[in-house]
């Protein structure tokens, strides 16, 4: 028997919640945007009136204002969005305990075992939409299918407040004509690579040779081929289960452009301390360090490298991040934002091969010292203890990425979104 998978997507979530709480702006073009003064001035979400003017998520606020001078910008209120996200999941939980969040506003539900109680997948989807509208005051689009990828596609096809069904019988007619970029995890770079091969639509991916796609895209080529053909069999996580954390990271748009390697070193240490502290909070060590760089013209790149040993020591993570940066960045432009992520995680209690060449006693002392620093910062504030390197710059030393930034959910795959 085919599975019955739903994907629920709360429409224009941030903007919809803001309009719900601010009746005076409901009939105006509204966008939720970052703090322009803190250089986080991009559009995070927008309502349909703003979308109709051509405003896109991710563009800078001054560009959005050019398209729509009457645009109302409101700051994000993440605690409020979290509350509404939990309200939606409470509704989902009335139908199944297999609920897998995909961000604050989206979730997959496996209702295969619930259909004998509540009716068909389409009926359950419609009922969930009506409850969200009546109980929460916002709307949702729901995709119904036999796998997670097509359920996600279905929720994207009709907005707002709609149910779309994709079945083994109709997916070639519904899914294959769509652009390749509509398939989950086909990012801009991958889309360009596909287009250069004459692969424009999802149907083109499905009909291509898996070996050819692997040649052009690596292992992801075969993954995308299986997605396009409806062969996704990944399960929906069960509510209450701790999903396996694949990586822990943090990123920041800096108060000013970074123009020297010393600037970058300071930020990498700030971010690495945050990453290391979170690794310790969750009882992990990382074996791989990833960095993400965006320059002042918003060109981005990422790179990664292996650590000699699994670590939750901030200095080891920072020095590895710096080495990766030095090997990959040519300083054509100043830098606007940086991210650091620890991946390939192991539990801190795992048996780890001791190196013959490193001073293990020194590493143990360093780990214990950082645990002590965690305790001091928890009690007296993040800035109660700082590295001397940060005292060189008042703007940068004030950054507290561990407390000031939202941790976003883990993506579908181990390494997150495809390039």
Q: Which residues are identified as catalytic?
A: 106
Give the separation between CA 221 and CA 205, rounded to whole angstroms: 9
* Sequence-separated (6 or more) residues with CB below 8 Å from residue 242: none
User: How far apart are the C-alpha atoms of 140 and 89, rounded to whole Å?
Assistant: 12
CA separation, residue 216 to residues 52, 162, 221 (Å): 37, 37, 7
CA distance linking residue 139 with residue 350, whole number of Å: 45
Contact call for residues 99 and 87 (beta carbons, < 8 A)? no
Q: The dihedral of CA 64, 70, 76, 79: what is its sign?
A: negative
Q: How far apart are CA 302 and CA 325, in angstroms?
A: 9
Cβ(183)–Cβ(225) below 8 Å: no
Euclidean distance between the first and the last CA atom of the chain, given in angstroms as a whole number: 35
């Amino acid at each position: 028997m085919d599975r019955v998978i739903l994907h629920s997507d709360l429409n224009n979530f941030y903007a919809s919640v803001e309009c719900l709480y601010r009746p005076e702006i409901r009939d105006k073009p509204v966008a939720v945007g970052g703090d322009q003064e803190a250089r986080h001035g991009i559009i995070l979400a927008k309502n349909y009136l703003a979308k109709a003017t051509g405003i896109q998520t991710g563009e800078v606020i001054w560009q959005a204002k050019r398209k729509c001078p009457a645009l109302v910008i409101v700051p994000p209120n993440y605690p409020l969005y979290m509350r509404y996200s939990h309200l939606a999941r409470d509704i989902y939980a009335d139908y199944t305990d297999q609920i897998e969040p995909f961000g604050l506003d989206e979730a997959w539900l496996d209702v295969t075992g619930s259909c004998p109680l509540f009716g068909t997948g389409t009926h359950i989807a419609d009922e969930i939409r009506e409850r969200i509208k009546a109980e929460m005051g916002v709307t949702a689009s729901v995709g119904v299918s036999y796998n997670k990828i097509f359920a996600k596609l279905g929720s994207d096809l009709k907005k707002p407040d709609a149910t779309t069904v994709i079945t083994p019988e109709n997916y070639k007619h519904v899914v294959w004509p769509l652009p390749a970029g509509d398939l989950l995890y086909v990012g801009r770079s991958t889309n360009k690579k596909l287009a250069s091969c004459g692969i424009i639509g999802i149907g083109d991916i499905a009909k291509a040779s898996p070996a050819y796609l692997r040649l052009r895209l690596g292992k992801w080529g075969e993954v995308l081929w299986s997605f396009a053909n409806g062969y996704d069999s990944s399960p929906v996580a069960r509510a209450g289960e701790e999903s396996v954390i694949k990586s822990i990271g943090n990123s920041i748009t800096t108060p000013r452009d970074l123009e020297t390697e010393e600037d970058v070193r300071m930020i990498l240490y700030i971010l690495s301390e945050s990453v290391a502290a979170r690794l310790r909070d969750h009882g992990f060590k990382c074996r791989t360090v990833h960095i993400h760089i965006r320059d002042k013209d918003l060109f981005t790149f990422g790179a990664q490298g292996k650590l000699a040993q699994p670590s939750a020591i901030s200095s080891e993570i920072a020095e590895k991040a710096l080495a990766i940066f030095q090997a990959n960045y040519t300083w054509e432009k100043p830098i606007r934002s940086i991210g650091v992520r620890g991946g390939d995680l192991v539990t801190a209690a795992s048996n780890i091969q001791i190196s013959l060449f490193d001073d293990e006693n020194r590493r143990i002392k360093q780990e214990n010292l950082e645990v002590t620093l965690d305790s001091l910062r928890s009690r007296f504030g993040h800035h109660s203890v700082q590295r001397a390197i940060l005292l060189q710059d008042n703007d940068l030393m004030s950054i507290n990425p561990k407390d000031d930034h939202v941790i976003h959910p883990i993506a579908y795959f181990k390494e997150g979104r495809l390039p």
